[in-house]
Chain A
Amino acid sequence: MSAVEVTQVNKIFNAGKQNAVEALVDVDLVVQPGEFVSLIGPSGCGKSTLLRLIANLLEPTSGSILVNGKPAKQARIDQDYGMAFQQSGLFEWRTVARNIELPLELKGWDKAKRRARSREMLELVKLGDFAKHMPWQLSGGMQQRVAIARALASHPKLLLMDEPFGALDEMTREHMQSELLQICARTSTTVVFVTHSIPEAVYLSNRVVVMSPRPGRITDIIDVELGSDRNEDTREDAAFYGRITAVREALRGVEMAAGARGIEDR
């Protein structure tokens, strides 16, 4: 059974009206369990839209989406996935621990069980001493780690992330990438990851999905094949650069076609 199965999906915003936007056209994508897949492409090509469709925060205009073998809506109701955004989206009136416990609270877990799990998650993201802090007492990188801990709190099989490191500085970002890989390996989580950064996509992913805008579609899927034990040395590997070049060329094709911008070359 695939973790995610997107079949012939189209998404038109404001369909039938004057301001209709063809956000996605004929999108097919299958993600296998344990896989790390990145979506990359110029601004406005529909990366966030595709992720929201998988999360069932949006309904497709046509086509079908299965998550863990169920319709996306059922998967959402069963809380089969965790989600993280560019803004950490922490609730500023809740402590760090109670932020992580929110999805569990809504699942109806009792307090002792929630406490135990939030402690476990805080250890996982190396913030064991910050349970009682308020979100604004943490740095941006720490807040993002809390958001990831929250997304992983119910041990979902699938993690959906929309530019989660987009607002972080380069150093923190690389550090968080390595941590995310370790966490996902340890918890064998499947990830669909939206990013603007080519090196980030290559470093993290088993496959990089390249998209083009107007209308949004998948133009290329690039296998990364850097093995499963990636570390800081991987970033200096010739194979790593080779894959970066491959993704860049695929994107260049997209940009030539669309005259679009918005890809970071870092």
Chain B
Amino acid sequence: MRLAWVTRVVLPPAVFGLVLFGAWELAVVVFNIKPYFLVPPSAIASRFVDNADLIWAAMRVSGANALIGLLLGAAFGVAMSFLLLRFRALDEIVTPLSIALNAIPIFVLVAVFNNMFAITSEVPRRLMVTLVVYFVVLVNVARGLRDVDATHVELMQSYAAGEWKILQRVRVPNAVPYFFTALKIAAPLSVITAFVSEYFGGSQNGLGNKITSNLATSKKAEGWAYVAGACLLGLAFFLIAVAIEAVSTPGGVGEPGREGG
């Protein structure tokens, strides 16, 4: 069974990646592409190894911003979902607004935040990540708490259960898979937001800054090595979200809306 999982889940993307990098390397050699246009993966890999310490330091800066924003955003998003459930009137204002905001690239707001804090502060970036994550978590978890099976609610009423018991036994468990769906979207998104935020000024210490500064000074391979670092960071966040889901749903990982009956 383990082996089947490896061949089914791991093998296809791994093979695809290898083929892609092979073709890239080959194309650079065969067509004699100049390094200022496109560098071969082998050069990126060697620069990655040479600069591992520096890349790791930049990953830690962006990673910390992403992680702090992710945790805060998830916490606020969940808290707000419960408030919306409790106060339906608030829900009618906040939910359409959240959906609308969720659809536009609000991370440009970081420029506004930058003006509010000291130039070297990491707060604007963390605030930005928090905000982006908050909306993703809010929209999903609020739906999970609200869209419960009508039969479940009627059954609970037939057991003389009040709203509090229904929340505990029906709404919260129903919202759990929605929360993990949100987390799997929000985790890589928090990394992207963290380093895109770096393009709007502030300290020159994160992955986003390093990518631009290296590319700007014609150190293409170094720039690409930082891009690889950013990819690894996003992937790590996603995999951690998946792992948390797997550990906390022992009954089997499910998607929202899967029917029991």
A residues in contact (CB < 8 Å) with B: 52, 55, 57, 76-79, 81-83, 85, 87-93, 95, 102-103, 106-107, 134-136, 140, 143, 147
User: Can you add 17 more A-B contacts, CB < 8 Å, to A90-B261, A92-B260?
Assistant: A57-B158, A76-B157, A78-B160, A81-B158, A82-B158, A83-B158, A85-B151, A89-B151, A89-B154, A89-B261, A91-B169, A91-B173, A92-B258, A93-B173, A106-B160, A106-B169, A147-B261
Cβ of B19 within 8 Å of any chain A Cβ, yes or no, is no
Residue contacts A-B, CB under 8 angstroms, 13 given:
A76-B157, A76-B158, A76-B160, A79-B159, A82-B158, A89-B154, A91-B170, A102-B169, A103-B159, A106-B160, A134-B252, A143-B261, A147-B261
- A93 near B176: Cβ-Cβ < 8 Å: yes
Q: Give the size of the chain B interface in residues (CB under 8 angstroms).
A: 24
Partner of B261 from the list A95, A103, A135 (CB cut-off 8 Å) is A135
A-side contacts of B176, CB under 8 Å: 93
B-side contacts of A83, CB under 8 Å: 154-155, 158
Query: Bound state CA distance, A85 and B261, in angstroms?
Result: 11
**CB proximity of B162 to chain A, nearest CB, Å:** 10
Query: Bound state CA distance, A143 and B149, in angstroms?
Result: 16
Q: Could you tell me the dominant secondary structure of chain B's interface residues?
A: helix
**CB proximity of B203 to chain A, nearest CB, Å:** 45
A-side contacts of B261, CB under 8 Å: 87-90, 135, 140, 143, 147
Query: Bound state CA distance, A5 and B260, in angstroms?
Result: 34
Partner of B159 from the list A90, A93, A102, A140 (CB cut-off 8 Å) is A102
Cβ of B235 within 8 Å of any chain A Cβ, yes or no, is no
Query: Bound state CA distance, A95 and B173, in angstroms?
Result: 13
Query: Bound state CA distance, A83 and B259, in angstroms?
Result: 19
B residues in contact (CB < 8 Å) with A: 149, 151-152, 154-161, 165, 169-170, 173-174, 176, 251-252, 254, 258-261
The number of inter-chain residue pairs (CB within 8 angstroms) is 69
A-side contacts of B156, CB under 8 Å: 106
**CB proximity of A35 to chain B, nearest CB, Å:** 21
- B260 near A135: Cβ-Cβ < 8 Å: yes
**CB proximity of A72 to chain B, nearest CB, Å:** 11
Query: Bound state CA distance, A73 and B254, in angstroms?
Result: 37
B160 — nearest CB in chain A belongs to which residue?
A77
- A106 near B165: Cβ-Cβ < 8 Å: yes
B-side contacts of A88, CB under 8 Å: 260-261
Query: Bound state CA distance, A217 and B212, in angstroms?
Result: 77
B-side contacts of A55, CB under 8 Å: 158
Question: Do A89 and B152 contact each other (CB < 8 Å), given the known contacts A106-B165, A143-B260?
Answer: yes
Question: Do A92 and B160 contact each other (CB < 8 Å), given the known contacts A83-B155, A106-B165?
Answer: no
Query: Bound state CA distance, A90 and B259, in angstroms?
Result: 9
B170 — nearest CB in chain A belongs to which residue?
A91
Query: Bound state CA distance, A117 and B38, in angstroms?
Result: 70
**CB proximity of A102 to chain B, nearest CB, Å:** 7
A-side contacts of B170, CB under 8 Å: 91
A107 — nearest CB in chain B belongs to which residue?
B159
Query: Bound state CA distance, A106 and B165, in angstroms?
Result: 9
B-side contacts of A103, CB under 8 Å: 159
B-side contacts of A81, CB under 8 Å: 158
